[in-house]
A and B are shown apart, each in its own frame.
Chain A
């Protein structure tokens, strides 16, 4: 195992986080903890990378580190210019845990000037005054200023919007649940780096495509279009192999352990997102810790038992978990941008991420419209703004993908067919069998909770997205023409469930375990649409 390659994989995610942090003023809500901000920034960086690589492919420019470095600097500059204009209607959300105003009106305490002082290109990742109660201050104090990519942004966009002290690691020091989560992450990472739990699909197509793209210096559409490549899903979105290819570019060679480390990072990111979901959902301290531990331990068990390292399903699990905080808060412009990043990340990652992106955007827009309507403003003015804010980025990902895949005739005939009710017996037999899969240890049925989670108001928006995604899975089962439906379901249902289970666990814990009194009055998210109609 090449340590250099593994370090390069870690460095890629750090760089993506730094790149994404250039959009901090648009992407960070005062309600968000530092870990969650890191999650969103990393996802934003990944989406930016994907768009750059797509642009390079269109231009016929070979991927290389110098080209990517120039692109990163350009993006950082554009971000500085774009975020220097405050978007109308972008009032930040209130930290649900704090009665004080979202933005501090007093100067920073002495000794923290470094986090407040304007600096060339610096951004703040969770540098905030310590929490009012003093808990968590140690971590927050240790958070520092991160300088990024040369700077040049206007002075007033140097800092993320800051709340009243709820940032840091998400209020509170590392506790027993966090420790268990870190243990689960460490165990999973150790096995992942060995390659022993590398998912077969990593070899069959995700990793293989990444390797090819690395060698070709771009997405090799001519290669993908060859008839013999039907088995590698040539029509799938390419963020996952692109990340592998760029990791290899950084490392100087394509090394399997480096790719496996990427999965471990995604694991860490989605556990952080789940932790934030519990915090913003108002879960009591014990539920927050238990929920974080539960998500991490059960995911690590499944990831090892079902050999999931290198799988693309981690991206979708991350997307759903990261969507929890913005869907828990009342809709606001920061939430729109967060949903945009999450939806774009999902759509770029996997084919079922495309409908998930549509569901997330549609629900966010509906929440805006509903919010306007119920507040009797008799205006739906915010909804079109939300369409643009939440929908533009996913569209920028989906449309080029559709165009390239269509142009090169990559869509496979076996991906779709007529709706066949007659196969219901076989499909549900497969589902029943999958639910008993030993590697899930009884947790897979959690994926069926979203319809129930439509009932509590606080989880309704998330549950709507998850329910629609669940329905999409079954739509695929009932329309894809294959010879053996039971085998087909068994071969992918357990890992499709993995996309839903962690986030659904968190939502269920919020609905079940959170004390309603912990949530400030008037901050309940408005009702989300019931899944009566599939969004466009």
Chain B
């Protein structure tokens, strides 16, 4: 009897846990328009991802499939820039997207802010896209 009671309590606790998690998830889902998180906490349907998709939708029309793109996130710490780059790579799987310093590419996509200073060496602006800036290397060199 004691075993059944304890086991019943565990089931009850796990049920309460699920309802709690579901409530939290539902609350955050309802408020997803305010989910202005850092790249490591981005989620599908959150505003930063939507903005990135807007940027990449336009970039896809200008950058051919198979092309290499350096995804720069000026001002972001390296770990956050890595997560943002991974999102960009997922959203543009037909292109090869990587971070500055990881390879040579013909295109540079600067997230949110334009390139400035030494980053501009060797590239020329192509177009300002929604929420990002597209550049093309003067030669396929490391930007």
Docked Cα-Cα span, A344 to B29, in Å, equals 37
Tell me if A211 is interfacial: C-beta within 8 Å of chain B. Answer: yes
Q: How far is the CB of B18 from chain A (nearest CB, A)?
A: 4
Most A Cβ at <10 Å: residue of B13, B83, B89: B89
Interface majority SS (helix, strand, loop, mixed), chain A: helix
Binding stretch for chain A, among B90-98, B112-120, B125-133: B90-98
Chain A positions within 8 Å of B86 at CB level: 203-205, 208, 231-232
Q: How far is the CB of A484 from chain B (nearest CB, A)?
A: 11
Chain A positions within 8 Å of B18 at CB level: 184, 187, 297-298, 300-301, 304
Evaluate contact between B21 and A196: CB separation under 8 angstroms.
no
Most B Cβ at <10 Å: residue of A177, A207, A297, A305: A297
0/1 string, B11-47, CB within 8 A of A gives 1: 1011101101110110011001000000010111100
Chain B positions within 8 Å of A439 at CB level: 21
Tell me if B8 is interfacial: C-beta within 8 Å of chain A. Answer: yes
Evaluate contact between B25 and A191: CB separation under 8 angstroms.
yes
Tell me if B82 is interfacial: C-beta within 8 Å of chain A. Answer: yes
Evaluate contact between B3 and A203: CB separation under 8 angstroms.
no
Residue in chain A with minimal CB distance to B97:
A228
Interface residues in B59-99 by Cβ distance below 8 A to A read 82-83, 86-87, 89-90, 93-94, 96, 98-99
Evaluate contact between A290 and B7: CB separation under 8 angstroms.
yes
Chain A positions within 8 Å of B21 at CB level: 300-302, 304-305, 439
Docked Cα-Cα span, A200 to B84, in Å, equals 11
Residue in chain A with minimal CB distance to B89:
A208
Partner of A512, one of B3, B11, B17, B94: B3
Chain B positions within 8 Å of A180 at CB level: 11, 15
Tell me if A194 is interfacial: C-beta within 8 Å of chain B. Answer: yes
Partner of A215, one of B4, B13, B24, B93: B93
0/1 string, A190-221, CB within 8 A of B gives 1: 01001111101001110110011001000000
Given A203-B90, A287-B7, A290-B11, the answer on whether A304 and B22 have CB atoms closer than 8 Å is: yes
Docked Cα-Cα span, A513 to B2, in Å, equals 11
Docked Cα-Cα span, A215 to B93, in Å, equals 8
Tell me if A85 is interfacial: C-beta within 8 Å of chain B. Answer: no
Tell me if B141 is interfacial: C-beta within 8 Å of chain A. Answer: no
Evaluate contact between A215 and B45: CB separation under 8 angstroms.
no
Chain A positions within 8 Å of B40 at CB level: 200
Docked Cα-Cα span, A208 to B96, in Å, equals 11
Residue in chain A with minimal CB distance to B91:
A203
Evaluate contact between B14 and A196: CB separation under 8 angstroms.
no
0/1 string, A219-231, CB within 8 A of B gives 1: 0000100111101
Tell me if A307 is interfacial: C-beta within 8 Å of chain B. Answer: yes
Evaluate contact between A196 and B11: CB separation under 8 angstroms.
no
Chain A positions within 8 Å of B93 at CB level: 208, 211-212, 215, 254
0/1 string, A433-461, CB within 8 A of B gives 1: 00000010111000000000000000000
Tell me if B122 is interfacial: C-beta within 8 Å of chain A. Answer: no
Q: List 30 A-B contacts (CB under 8 A).
A: A191-B25, A191-B29, A194-B44, A195-B44, A196-B25, A196-B29, A196-B32, A203-B87, A208-B89, A208-B93, A215-B93, A227-B103, A228-B99, A228-B103, A229-B98, A286-B7, A290-B10, A293-B14, A294-B10, A297-B17, A297-B18, A298-B18, A300-B21, A301-B14, A439-B21, A441-B13, A441-B17, A441-B20, A512-B3, A513-B7
Q: A residues engaging B (CB < 8 A)?
A: 177, 180, 184, 187, 191, 194-198, 200, 203-205, 207-208, 211-212, 215, 223, 226-229, 231-232, 254, 256, 286-287, 290-291, 293-294, 297-298, 300-302, 304-305, 307, 439, 441-443, 509, 512-513
With contacts A215-B94, A293-B15, A301-B20 known, what are 20 further pairs, Cβ within 8 A? A187-B18, A194-B44, A196-B29, A196-B32, A200-B83, A204-B90, A215-B93, A226-B103, A228-B102, A254-B93, A256-B44, A287-B3, A290-B4, A290-B11, A298-B14, A298-B17, A301-B21, A304-B18, A441-B14, A443-B14
